Structure 1
Amino acid sequence: MTPWWEATREGRLLLQRCEGCGHLQHYPRALCTGCGGTDLGWQESAGRGAVDSFTVVHRSPSPEHAPPYVVARVRLDEGPILLTNLVGDADWHCDQRVRLAWRTLDDGRRLPVFEQE
């Protein structure tokens, strides 16, 4: 996970890539979800995709997340799906094209979020 988080500091979204079968996955893990292999590397994402599904949260479970906000599944053009937030004023809908944006954390790392393309 360290390479993934460090890349976010530079505004780069990394996907885990299996050196054995070429499968791309996100979130990073110990085994390839395609073949079960353990020879895993990294590939940078272009940061483009489409909204797969989403919901607008109007009642937040904690004060740190001011409603309303949008939680979504974004299918990257490279294939993997990210659970993320959609940001910006848009009339969101499934299959809508989106591009990578970033939300900066207090320690300098960033979380990938997506905005309308």
Structure 2
Amino acid sequence: MKDGDTTRPARDAAPQWQTEDGALMIAECRDCGEPHYYPRVLCPFCGSENVAFKACSGRGRIYAVSVFRRADPPYALAYVELEEGPRMMTNIVDCDLDAIAIDDAVTVLFADRDGIPTPMFTPAAP
């Protein structure tokens, strides 16, 4: 990416786009202990600037989902509630779109989008 390119996040400035041994990174306040996603420079719970990134389990459950069938190809957009608590908007991939349901267990996988590992979720193995 070139300096000044604002079409996608710079890896140096956006730790949430990085992985630690393939783990999904979320922000956590070092003062109140609350994890949150999307990452911010201030804790949304206590306002502290003492925020750090940590690896999370990458497991969660579908909180809400919508399947867009008129798109080519069709896709599923969902909110996933992570085991650690935060909810994140993402895509549900590598599955039968008709079989997706609220409260399904899912796990993270990373799709390469222009060199950026982008978190998406797939149904967890039973």
**TM-score bracket, shorter-length normalisation:** 0.7 to 0.9
Q: 1:84 matched to which residue of 2?
A: 90
Q: Residues of 2 paired with 1:92 and 1:5: CA distance?
A: 26
Where relative contact order (Cα < 8 A, 6+ residues apart) is larger, the structure is 1
CA contact (8 A) 1:98 1:115 kept: yes
Q: 1:40-88 CA deviation, whole Å, 9 max, x = no partner?
A: 011101100000000001233xxxxx33100000000000001000012
Which blocks of at least 5 consecutive residues in structure 1 are unaligned? 61-65
Structure 1 residue runs of 4 or more that deviate by more than 6 Å after TM superposition: none
Q: 1:100 matched to which residue of 2?
A: 108
Provide the alpha-carbon RMSD of the alignment.
Answer: 1.5
Matched to 2:110, the amino acid is W
Q: 1:90-112 CA deviation, whole Å, 9 max, x = no partner?
A: 300000000111111222x2111
Q: TM-score, normalised by structure 2?
A: 0.81
Q: Residues of 2 paired with 1:5 and 1:97: CA distance?
A: 23
CA contact (8 A) 1:11 1:110 kept: no
Q: Residues of 1 paired with 2:18 and 2:108: CA distance?
A: 17
Q: Residues of 1 paired with 2:15 and 2:121: CA distance?
A: 21
Percent same amino acid among aligned pairs?
Answer: 33
1:68 matched to 2:68: no
Q: Residues of 1 paired with 2:63 and 2:15: CA distance?
A: 27
Secondary structure in 1 aligned to 2:40?
A: coil
Q: Residues of 2 paired with 1:6 and 1:88: CA distance?
A: 22
Which blocks of at least 5 consecutive residues in structure 2 are unaligned? 1-12
Q: Residues of 2 paired with 1:35 and 1:59: CA distance?
A: 42
Q: 1:115 aligns with which of 113, 118, 122?
A: 122
Q: Residues of 2 paired with 1:34 and 1:3: CA distance?
A: 20
Q: Residues of 2 paired with 1:12 and 1:40: CA distance?
A: 18
Q: 1:19 aligns with which of 30, 34, 37?
A: 30
How many angstroms does 1:34 deviate by? 1.1
